[in-house]
């Protein structure tokens, strides 16, 4: 098939999932066309089967807001015609599903039919999409998509609760290529980051309030009072200043390593002992899955789709949002016994197998086939 993929090309989970999906589909013989405003961050390899088409929005002073969805829908029309794309898979409802619907209508005028598959990722529904400013357009775009998928049952339930949806929503969980996370402990550069006796705690996110990174700092503070430890913080975002201030206030700034945005999360996870994800809400928690794939147990909140990913007492532990005391207790329970840590690491890796790319990507292929047949 020739598949057009639209996504946010940034470090966010939806862009990562869309990119990894495109790359895996290309390995399975499909021709993939990424259509977005810059090259997706994890798109390292441009092969015969993978193409990237940039959406340019010409700056014009009259426009207070530059019309990205207009430029995107025009680009989609051009690319579908030029490359005879069979199907469009748009990740993130706003504005991608909306722009794809406009493109579909324009193409129909020329007798070309291209169906749309929309994947909902979370913030497009729970944080942004349900805002009254966007709700009618998001409802319309979801209902007009030919197939709709959500990355967890929890996100599907939220979507049905928040919007008046007439379409079926297929739950297709996010996935992981375990081959990319198969470093053995000895391959890792652990010694560069911490002393032999220190445990390494890691958190990866866009440092937005929804991630509750201040809880990460407080949990780490409690941990390091009991055992020698370092915290690796990966990502950039609006909470950074508050995080730095809290580290200084707690006098642990020298124990926290700020690594910024990274394309090599696997290389940091491979020497990590524990991953913290105390988010306020999370439709899936791809970062937790990436940690588990590296054999890192997860201490998380029990919100949204996280319980579908992190298994209580197996790959880690889950607590109520904001329950720093219980998260600390569970973290220390794992970290204080070498034998228990080893067991949890093995179980975390085992849990990640449930989301193996080779199990999940064929589900998307089937959805494409069914969509093409029914349209
Ligand atoms: O978490 C974010 O703020 C980024 C956001 C995105 O759209 O990239 O992540 C969402 O999609 C990811 C991939 O499906 C999920 O793993 C995240 O849980 C989800 N974030 C939220 O629901 C807050």
Which string of b and e fits 152-170 if b means at least 16 CB within 10 Å?
Answer: bebbbebbeeebebeeebb
Q: Is there an atom of ligand 1 within 6 Å of 224 CB?
A: no
Q: Check pLDDT > 60 for residue 186.
A: no
- The total of structural domains in the chain comes to 2
Residue whose CA is at the smallest distance from ligand 1 atom 14: 121
In contact, 200 and 309? CB cutoff 8 Å: no
Q: Is there an atom of ligand 1 within 6 Å of 301 CB?
A: no
The secondary structure of the chain in percent helix, strand, coil, rounded to multiples of 5, reads: 45, 15, 35
Statement to judge: residues 70 and 200 lie in one domain: no
Statement to judge: residues 182 and 81 lie in one domain: no
Q: Is there an atom of ligand 1 within 6 Å of 122 CB?
A: yes
- Whole-angstrom distance, CA of residue 70 vs CA of residue 67: 5
Atom of ligand 1 nearest to the CA of 14: 8
Statement to judge: residues 241 and 138 lie in one domain: no
Statement to judge: residues 280 and 214 lie in one domain: yes
In contact, 50 and 44? CB cutoff 8 Å: no
Statement to judge: residues 131 and 243 lie in one domain: no
**Does the global pTM surpass 0.90?**
yes
Q: What is the 3-state secondary structure (H, E, C) of 246-273?
A: HHHHCCCHHHEEEEECCCCHHHHHCCCC
Q: Is there an atom of ligand 1 within 6 Å of 6 CB?
A: no
Statement to judge: residues 279 and 364 lie in one domain: no
Q: Is there an atom of ligand 1 within 6 Å of 282 CB?
A: yes
Statement to judge: residues 70 and 152 lie in one domain: yes
pLDDT of residue 201: 98
Q: Is there an atom of ligand 1 within 6 Å of 176 CB?
A: no
- Taking the mean position of all CA atoms in its chain, how far away is CA 141? 21
Q: Is there an atom of ligand 1 within 6 Å of 9 CB?
A: no
Statement to judge: residues 158 and 71 lie in one domain: yes
Angle at 209 between CA 207 and CA 328, to 5 degrees: 80
Angle at 281 between CA 279 and CA 286, to 5 degrees: 70
For 319, the enclosing helix (H) or strand (E) is strand 316-319
In which domain, by residue range, is 321 found?
A: 178-355
Atom of ligand 1 nearest to the CA of 289: 16
Statement to judge: residues 222 and 274 lie in one domain: yes
CATH of the domain at 224: 3.40.50.2000
Statement to judge: residues 26 and 70 lie in one domain: yes
pLDDT of residue 19: 94
Each residue's pLDDT tens digit, 241-292? 999 999 999 999 999 999 999 888 888 899 999 999 999 999 999 999 999 9
Tell me, in angstroms, the distance from the centre of ligand 1 to residue 285's CA. 7
Residue whose CA is at the smallest distance from ligand 1 atom 23: 282
* Residue 300 pLDDT grade (very low, low, confident, very high; cuts 50, 70, 90): very high
Statement to judge: residues 89 and 200 lie in one domain: no
Statement to judge: residues 264 and 166 lie in one domain: no
166 contact partners, CB below 8 Å, separation of at least 6: 143
């Amino acid at each position: 098939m020739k598949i057009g993929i639209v996504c946010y090309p940034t470090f966010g989970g939806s862009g990562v999932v869309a990119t990894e999906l495109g790359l895996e589909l290309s390995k399975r013989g499909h021709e993939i066309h990424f259509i977005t405003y810059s090259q997706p961050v994890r798109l390292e390899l441009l092969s015969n089967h993978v193409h990237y088409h940039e959406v340019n929005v010409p700056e014009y002073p009259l426009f207070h807001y530059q019309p990205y969805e207009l430029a995107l829908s025009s680009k989609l029309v051009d690319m579908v015609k030029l490359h005879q794309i069979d199907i469009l898979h748009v990740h993130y409802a706003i504005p991608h599903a909306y722009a794809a619907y406009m493109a579909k209508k324009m193409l129909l005028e020329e007798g070309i039919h291209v169906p749309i598959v929309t994947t909902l990722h979370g913030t497009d529904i729970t944080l942004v999409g349900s805002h009254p400013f966007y709700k009618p357009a998001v409802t319309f775009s979801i209902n007009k998509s030919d197939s709709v998928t959500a990355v967890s049952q929890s996100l599907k339930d939220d979507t049905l609760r928040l919007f008046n949806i007439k379409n079926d929503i297929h739950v297709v969980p996010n996935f992981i290529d375990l081959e990319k996370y198969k470093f053995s402990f000895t391959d890792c550069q652990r010694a560069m980051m911490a002393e032999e006796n220190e445990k390494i705690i890691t958190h990866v996110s866009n440092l937005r309030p929804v991630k509750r990174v201040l809880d990460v700092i407080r949990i780490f503070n409690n941990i390091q009072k009991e055992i020698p430890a370092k915290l690796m913080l990966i990502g950039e975002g609006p909470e950074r200043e508050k995080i730095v201030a809290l580290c200084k206030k707690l006098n642990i700034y020298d124990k926290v390593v700020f690594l910024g945005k990274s394309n090599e999360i696997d290389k940091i996870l491979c020497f990590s002992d524990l991953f913290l994800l105390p988010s306020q809400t999370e439709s899936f928690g791809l970062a937790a899955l990436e940690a588990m794939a590296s054999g890192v147990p997860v201490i998380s909140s029990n919100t949204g789709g996280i319980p579908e990913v992190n298994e209580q007492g197996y790959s880690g532990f889950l607590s109520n949002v904001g329950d720093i005391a219980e998260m600390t207790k569970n973290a220390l329970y794992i970290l204080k016994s070498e034998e228990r840590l080893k067991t949890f690491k093995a179980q975390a890796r085992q849990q990640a197998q449930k989301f193996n790319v080779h199990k999940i990507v064929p589900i998307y292929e089937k959805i494409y086939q069914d969509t093409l047949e029914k349209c």
